[in-house]
Structure formats: C-alpha cells, structure tokens
C-alpha cells in the first residue's frame, strides 16, 4: 500500500508539473462550470452548504442563513497537501452583497480553526476576488473531512461563491523597509521569492516589476527561487504599489513615501501606561450568551508605574471576544512596531490583537500573540504591513493612510472565566514627518 501511495503521489506530482504553466491554481472548484481539481466540499455537519444557486446569470454555490447554513466547508485532497506547516494561498471569488466581511478559518498548526483573515464587503452587487494567505496550514482533516471553511458574516443574506482556488505557488515581495523618504533618492531593497505549486523554490524564472511611482527595474531574473530589486523614491508622498508578476501569478507590496525633514528616524514612544483609565477605555463584549466582561484599573499587579488595565474575562461559550476601545489614542508618525506587556492568571490562555484606524476610517487588525502564564510577557507585532492582518471599512483598499489611531485591543478565544492584565503600550514609529 505504501508503494502504491508513493506511485500515486509521483503520478499526481508529474501531472501538476506538466500543467503548472497552464493552471494558476494547484487545486480548485469552479461552481460556474462544474470543474474541479483536488478540491471538494467537506462534510462537516448536517448544516453544511452544498446548494447550487444563481445570481446575475452566474451559476454558483450559496449559503442559506435562513436554514442555519452559514459555512462553506472545503476539503483539499491529501495527495496535494497533508501535514507539515505550509504557506497556502486560497482565492475566493464572491458576490459583494451586504456590508460585513467574508471570513475564513483553517486547519493550522496552532489549531483546528485558525483564523485566516477576512475579505471586505461593500454591497457593490458585483463579483470580487480576494486571496487569503494561510501561514501554517496543516490540512490533516481534523474536523471531519474539512481543511478550511468560508464563513458568511451577513446573517440575513446568502453568500454567493463561484470559484475557490488553492495553491502553494506564489510570488512574495519583502521590502527591506516599509517606509522611505519622499526625497527622490532614498532606496530600499525588495526581495522577490518565487515558489511552484508544491511550495518548492522555483529553480529559475523571470518576473516583471512595476511601481505606480518611483523607480524599479522592469524585469528581474530569479535564481533558486529568489531575486533582489532596488526601489528608489520620487518626491511624491504617500503609498507606492510595487507589483511582481509572472505567468498567472502576481503579488503587490506597498511602500510608503513619507514627507520628512532630514533623515527618517525610528523612535520608541510609550503611548499608554494605563495609570488611570477613566473613560478613555470602554469595552464592547460579543459572545454566544456569556455574561459581560469588565475593565478596571488596578494597582496590583503592574509591570511599570503605578497602574495597569485589568480585564475580568467571562466566557461560557465557544464564540466570544472582547473589544477594549480607546477611540482617541492617536499614534505618532508612521508606526512600524507595536508592543504591550501582558500577564495572565488561573492558567487561562487568550489571544490578543490590535486594531488601528486610518484617516479614511479603514480598520486594520494585527495579531499580537497569546496572553498566558502568571508572569509579565511582552507581545509585539509589525503594524506597517496590512498583508499580515485583515482590513475592512473606510477605503477598504488594504493601504494604510497615515496618521493612524489605536482603535481597539481585541481579546479572544477564552474558554473560561479568568483575569488578564495589560500595561505599558509602546510603539516604534518613523518620526520627523513634515505633516
């Protein structure tokens, strides 16, 4: 059996390599045409979505919230992905009805239903395409035969999906710096990584490069899966989109050119010490029926100074999270990194995220990490790259329009009543801006 399985894997691998230049996805479900490859609907429960419908003359899959069918459950063939820790890209083409989001969860190394981000909805009544990145996909069918699921967050309207594509093939752009001065001469390197459908470095290839302003070479040779380009700024402040493309694959990175006086300096600032929270922090609690959590100031324990924020977290259901709002906490300059000191208690573990709001009202969410243990731990995250988190509302374009404010701290995934503590919120930001 093991030899037979190995032969089948080689046969599948050969077929994928042969057709790699023709298909932009290693696996897909096309509900409009009925075509599929290494992908099928997964039988998670009796309420799974498997109803074929039609909207605007297009055949598609739809959820049925009136009958409790909110999820589209998808199984990836084990011959394509099974086990390990994979970078996986899932592209969903959906109808933009309603004003909430389309969210995905997946079988990842950290849990059966790892958060995979969300796609915006603006009720444009048009088809939209969004690509989600799963950073640690495991896909071992730990919940029935489901490897990931798509969640309809608009309970009164169906979610219509006409295409789902899965691939490990990708182009990844990694700028050395997220910010440069808008002085016409500042430079930064941009690393371009190229992988095939099986997640292996492409031996060689050529990518086309472009920037909507500033300067970057138009073509780049890839050797052993990686190449390096140099971007030089112009004198126009604001975001710069850099695109790399080859065949059916493309990826965009965003740099920000900042108006500056002299050198662009990275500076650390304590923006909240929680010495006295007063009315500056308010909670908004979501749950499946659990009692309200509470915020309060405390003098014991504290990490520094004389006060900290205490959260009495009350969870009696699986669906629960707590948003701690501080609506007027503007962050300095162009933030690069945000850090906060945390402490748990009673053995509970909670996930902590931060939400920033830009000048258009767009919300960005970034994961800080887990609050655990009864000792103080510092959690940090990069808040300069929207691709590392989700975004919605406002411009909904995935570009941070500076300046930004700290919109909320979000605590999730608690399965018990517990207490957690937050102290000393710091930000590393590029300062010296002229605006």
Partner residues linked to 391 by β-bridges: 364
- In tens digits, the chain (435 residues) has pLDDT values of 334 334 333 333 333 333 333 447 889 999 999 999 999 998 766 567 778 889 989 999 998 888 878 889 999 999 999 998 888 999 999 999 887 788 899 999 878 888 888 888 888 999 999 989 898 899 998 877 889 999 876 667 889 999 999 999 888 899 988 889 999 999 999 999 999 888 889 888 899 999 999 999 999 999 999 999 999 999 998 899 999 998 878 888 889 998 887 677 889 999 999 987 777 788 876 665 445 678 888 999 999 999 999 988 876 555 567 888 887 789 988 999 999 999 988 666 788 999 999 999 999 999 999 998 889 999 999 998 887 777 888 888 888 988 899 999 988 876 677 888 999 999 999 887 665
Q: How far is CA 154 from CA 70, 105, 128, 275, in A?
A: 9, 16, 16, 39
Three-class secondary structure of residue 388 per DSSP: helix
Report the alpha-carbon distance of residue 209 to residue 227 in Å, rounded.
12
Distances (CA, A) of 2 to 38, 80, 342, 357: 20, 16, 48, 53
Q: How many Cβ atoms sit within 10 Å of the Cβ of residue 85?
A: 11
Partner residues linked to 132 by β-bridges: 90
- Give the pLDDT confidence score for residue 311 in this predicted structure: 87
Cα-Cα-Cα-Cα torsion 252, 253, 258, 264, nearest 10 degrees, comes to -160
Q: How far apart are CA 141 and CA 411, in angstroms?
A: 28
Peptide bond into 403 cis (omega under 30): yes
Rounded Cα gap, residues 255 and 385, in angstroms: 9
- Residue 10 confidence (pLDDT): 36
CA distance 176 to 220: 17
Does residue 132 contact residue 147 with C-beta atoms inside 8 Å? Answer: no
**Rounded Cα–Cα distance for residues 41 and 52 (Å):** 12
List C-alpha distances in Å: 109 to 82, 115, 266: 12, 11, 34
pLDDT at 67: 81
| pLDDT at position 11 | 36
């Amino acid at each position: 059996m093991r030899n037979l399985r190995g032969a089948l894997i080689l046969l599948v691998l050969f077929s994928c390599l042969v057709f790699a230049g023709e298909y932009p996805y290693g696996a897909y479900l096309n509900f409009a045409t009925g075509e599929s490859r290494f992908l099928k609907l997964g039988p998670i429960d009796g309420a799974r979505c498997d109803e074929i419908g039609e909207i605007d003359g297009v055949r598609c899959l739809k959820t049925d919230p009136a009958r409790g069918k909110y999820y589209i459950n998808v199984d990836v063939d084990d011959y394509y992905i099974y086990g390990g820790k994979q970078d996986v890209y899932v592209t969903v083409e959906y109808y933009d009805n309603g004003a909430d989001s389309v969210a995905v969860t997946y079988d990842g190394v950290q849990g059966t239903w790892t958060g995979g981000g969300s796609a915006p909805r603006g009720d444009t009544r048009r088809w939209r395409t969004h690509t989600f990145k799963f950073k640690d996909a495991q896909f071992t069918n730990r919940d029935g035969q489901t490897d990931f699921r798509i969640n309809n967050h608009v309970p009164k309207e169906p979610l219509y999906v006409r295409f789902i594509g899965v691939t490990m093939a990708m182009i990844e752009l990694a700028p050395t710096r997220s910010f440069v001065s808008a002085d016409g001469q500042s430079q930064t390197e941009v690393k371009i990584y190229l992988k095939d459908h099986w997640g292996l470095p492409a031996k060689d290839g050529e990518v086309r490069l472009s920037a909507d302003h500033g300067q970057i070479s138009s073509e780049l040779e890839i050797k052993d899966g990686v190449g390096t380009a140099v971007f030089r700024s112009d004198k126009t402040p604001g975001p710069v989109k850099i695109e790399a493309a080859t065949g059916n694959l493309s990826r965009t990175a965003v740099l920000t050119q900042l108006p500056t006086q002299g050198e662009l300096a990275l500076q650390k600032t304590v923006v909240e010490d929680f010495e006295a929270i007063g009315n500056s922090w308010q909670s908004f609690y979501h749950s499946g029926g659990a009692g309200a959590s509470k915020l309060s100031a405390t003098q014991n324990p504290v990490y520094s100074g004389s006060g900290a924020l205490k959260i009495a977290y009350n969870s009696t259901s699986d669906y629960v999270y707590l948003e701690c709002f501080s609506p007027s906490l503007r962050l300095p300059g162009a933030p690069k990194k945000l850090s906060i000191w945390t402490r748990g208690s009673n053995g509970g573990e909670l996930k902590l995220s931060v939400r920033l709001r830009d000048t258009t009202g767009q919300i960005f969410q970034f994961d800080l990490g887990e609050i655990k243990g009864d000792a103080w731990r510092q959690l940090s995250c990069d808040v300069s790259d929207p691709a590392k988190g989700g975004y919605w509302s406002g411009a909904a374009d995935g570009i941070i329009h500076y300046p930004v404010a700290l919109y909320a701290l979000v605590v999730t995934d608690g399965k018990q009543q517990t207490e957690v503590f937050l102290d000393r919120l710091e930000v590393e930001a590029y300062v010296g801006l002229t605006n």
